[in-house]
Structure 1
Amino acid sequence: MSLKDEYVEKLKAQLDEWSADIDVLEAKVRKADAELRIKYDEQIATLKDKREDAKLKLGEIQSSAGEAWKELKKGSDEAWDAIKHAIAEARKKFNE
């Protein structure tokens, strides 16, 4: 398996994990009172936006030819860091 394939598989697995995290957080939102639900819905929407950005970066890497994926890796890593941080923050807030 090439480095690119390994990287793509790692990103896919992480996206699947984050999607599961978002599902768990959404379930918590459904149980929250109305005032908190509005606040949490906004956070869930932000997480979904960041997840979509990460998916786009993954698609760019998958469709890149040759060594071009390495150039795209930096942008992908930044998107991954953003969603990782956002999910960590959401977990903290939802567990308050």
Structure 2
Amino acid sequence: MTEREQYIDKAKAKLDQWNAEIDKFKAQVAGSDADAEIEYRKQLDEMRNQRDKAEAKLKELHDASDDAWDDMKSGFDKAWDSISSAFDNAMSRFK
């Protein structure tokens, strides 16, 4: 497996983890009172939005040519850090 494939697989694994977190919190929403449910749904929407952004960036990275890989990877790392921080921030509101 190439370094590129390993890098992409690692990012996909993180997305899978985020999806599991979203599913877990979705179950919490179902068992909460009406006021909390409204707030939880907002946070879930934010988590999904950040996950979708990360998936889009990962697709761009995956589709990048070999020549563009290094530049794309650098841009992806910066975007990933920002998206990851926003996702974690939204997730922390559930705890």
- Give TM-score scaled by structure 1 length: 0.85
Output the aligned Cα RMSD.
Answer: 1.6
Matches within 5 A, 1:1-96: 1-95=1-95
State the alpha-carbon separation in 1 of the partners of residues 30 and 80 from structure 2: 27
Distance in 2 between residues matched to 1:37 and 1:79, nearest whole Å: 30
Instruction: Judge which range, 23-32 or 82-91, deviates more.
Output: 82-91
Q: Structure 1's 75 and 34: CA in aligned 2 closer, same or farther, altered over 3 A?
A: farther
CA contact (8 A) 2:50 2:83 kept: yes
Q: Which moved more, 1:68-77 or 1:83-92?
A: 83-92
Measure the CA separation in 1 of the matches of 2:85 and 2:44: 13
Contact map agreement 2:46 2:90 (CA 8 A) in 1: no
Moved more, 1-10 or 63-72: 63-72
Aligned residues: 95
Letter in 2 for 1:12: K
**1:14-50 superposed Cα distances (whole Å, 9 cap, x missing partner):** 1001100111011111111110111110110011011
What is the CA deviation profile of residues 64-95 of structure 1, one whole-angstrom value per residue up to 9, with x for unaligned ones? 11131221223322333234323433443222
Deviant stretches of 4+, over 6 Å: none
Alpha carbons of structure 1 residues 12 and 44: separation in structure 2 relative to 1, 3 Å: same
Pick closer, same or farther for the CA change 1:22–1:78 going to 2, 3 Å.
farther
Tell me the TM-score normalised to structure 2 length: 0.86
Structure 1: which amino acid aligns with 2:70? K
Gaps of 5+ in 2: none
Amino acid across the alignment from 1:72 = M
